[in-house]
Amino acid sequence: MDLTQVYAMATGIAIITAALTQVAKVSFGVPKRVIPLIALIIGMLLGVAAAPLSDASVPVLLWAGGISGLMASGMFETAKKLMNGEGKDDKDSDDDK
Protein backbone atom coordinates (compact mmCIF):
# COMPACT_ATOMS: atom_id res chain seq x y z
CA MET A 1 0.00 0.00 0.00
CA ASP A 2 1.51 3.31 -1.03
CA LEU A 3 1.09 6.71 0.59
CA THR A 4 -1.67 7.76 -1.80
CA GLN A 5 -3.83 4.87 -0.64
CA VAL A 6 -3.12 5.73 3.00
CA TYR A 7 -4.28 9.30 2.43
CA ALA A 8 -7.37 8.12 0.55
CA MET A 9 -8.28 5.79 3.42
CA ALA A 10 -7.60 8.55 5.96
CA THR A 11 -9.90 10.92 4.08
CA GLY A 12 -12.74 8.43 4.15
CA ILE A 13 -12.24 7.63 7.81
CA ALA A 14 -11.96 11.34 8.74
CA ILE A 15 -15.64 11.99 8.05
CA ILE A 16 -16.73 9.25 10.43
CA THR A 17 -14.07 10.30 12.94
CA ALA A 18 -15.32 13.90 12.92
CA ALA A 19 -18.89 12.74 13.53
CA LEU A 20 -17.96 10.39 16.37
CA THR A 21 -15.72 13.03 17.95
CA GLN A 22 -18.60 15.50 17.92
CA VAL A 23 -20.88 12.88 19.49
CA ALA A 24 -18.31 12.25 22.24
CA LYS A 25 -17.88 15.97 22.80
CA VAL A 26 -21.60 16.68 23.13
CA SER A 27 -22.66 13.49 24.92
CA PHE A 28 -19.85 13.20 27.45
CA GLY A 29 -18.87 16.85 27.87
CA VAL A 30 -15.27 16.25 26.86
CA PRO A 31 -13.07 19.32 27.55
CA LYS A 32 -11.94 21.23 24.45
CA ARG A 33 -8.25 20.70 25.18
CA VAL A 34 -8.52 16.92 24.80
CA ILE A 35 -10.65 16.86 21.64
CA PRO A 36 -7.64 16.37 19.30
CA LEU A 37 -6.46 13.42 21.41
CA ILE A 38 -9.96 11.90 21.40
CA ALA A 39 -10.16 12.38 17.61
CA LEU A 40 -6.75 10.75 17.19
CA ILE A 41 -7.78 7.72 19.27
CA ILE A 42 -11.14 7.36 17.51
CA GLY A 43 -9.41 7.63 14.13
CA MET A 44 -6.87 4.97 15.01
CA LEU A 45 -9.61 2.64 16.24
CA LEU A 46 -11.58 3.19 13.04
CA GLY A 47 -8.42 2.57 11.02
CA VAL A 48 -7.96 -0.83 12.64
CA ALA A 49 -11.70 -1.54 12.30
CA ALA A 50 -11.31 -1.00 8.54
CA ALA A 51 -8.92 -3.98 8.32
CA PRO A 52 -11.46 -6.28 6.63
CA LEU A 53 -11.94 -3.65 3.90
CA SER A 54 -8.25 -3.34 3.09
CA ASP A 55 -5.22 -5.51 2.50
CA ALA A 56 -3.02 -3.10 4.48
CA SER A 57 -1.11 -4.09 7.59
CA VAL A 58 -2.19 -2.98 11.07
CA PRO A 59 0.57 -0.34 11.40
CA VAL A 60 -0.51 1.23 8.10
CA LEU A 61 -4.14 1.20 9.22
CA LEU A 62 -3.14 2.84 12.52
CA TRP A 63 -1.22 5.46 10.56
CA ALA A 64 -4.22 6.16 8.28
CA GLY A 65 -6.51 6.31 11.32
CA GLY A 66 -4.16 8.70 13.11
CA ILE A 67 -4.04 10.98 10.10
CA SER A 68 -7.84 10.89 9.91
CA GLY A 69 -8.12 11.84 13.58
CA LEU A 70 -5.86 14.83 13.10
CA MET A 71 -7.73 15.78 9.93
CA ALA A 72 -11.07 15.52 11.73
CA SER A 73 -10.04 17.76 14.61
CA GLY A 74 -8.54 20.27 12.19
CA MET A 75 -11.64 20.28 9.98
CA PHE A 76 -13.91 20.86 12.94
CA GLU A 77 -11.84 23.73 14.35
CA THR A 78 -11.52 25.38 10.93
CA ALA A 79 -15.25 25.12 10.26
CA LYS A 80 -16.06 26.49 13.70
CA LYS A 81 -13.76 29.48 13.18
CA LEU A 82 -15.23 30.20 9.77
CA MET A 83 -18.77 30.02 11.13
CA ASN A 84 -17.88 32.43 13.93
CA GLY A 85 -16.09 34.82 11.56
CA GLU A 86 -12.75 34.39 13.33
CA GLY A 87 -10.85 33.52 10.16
CA LYS A 88 -11.09 36.95 8.53
CA ASP A 89 -7.97 38.93 7.78
CA ASP A 90 -7.78 42.57 8.80
CA LYS A 91 -7.10 43.46 5.15
CA ASP A 92 -10.42 42.00 4.00
CA SER A 93 -12.66 43.70 6.54
CA ASP A 94 -15.02 46.46 5.50
CA ASP A 95 -14.24 48.45 8.66
CA ASP A 96 -11.29 50.17 6.96
CA LYS A 97 -13.48 51.82 4.36
Position 95 in a domain: no
What's the whole-model pTM score?
0.74
| Domain encompassing residue 28 | 3-85
Number of independent structural domains in the chain: 1
Position 50 in a domain: yes
Instruction: Please determine, for residue 97, whether its predicted confidence score (pLDDT) is greater than 50.
Output: no
CA–CA–CA angle 80, 73, 71 (5° rounding): 115
Residues 17-46 have pLDDT tens digits of: 999 998 998 999 888 888 889 999 999 999
7 vs 47, higher pLDDT: 47
Helix (H, G, I), strand (E, B) or coil at 81: helix
Work out the percent of the chain whose per-residue pLDDT is above 90: 27
| Among 69, 93, 80, 59, CA closest to 19 | 69
Burial code (b: 16+ CB inside 10 Å, e: under 16) for 52-91 equals eeeebeeebbbbbbbbbbbbbbebbeeeeeeeeeeeeeee
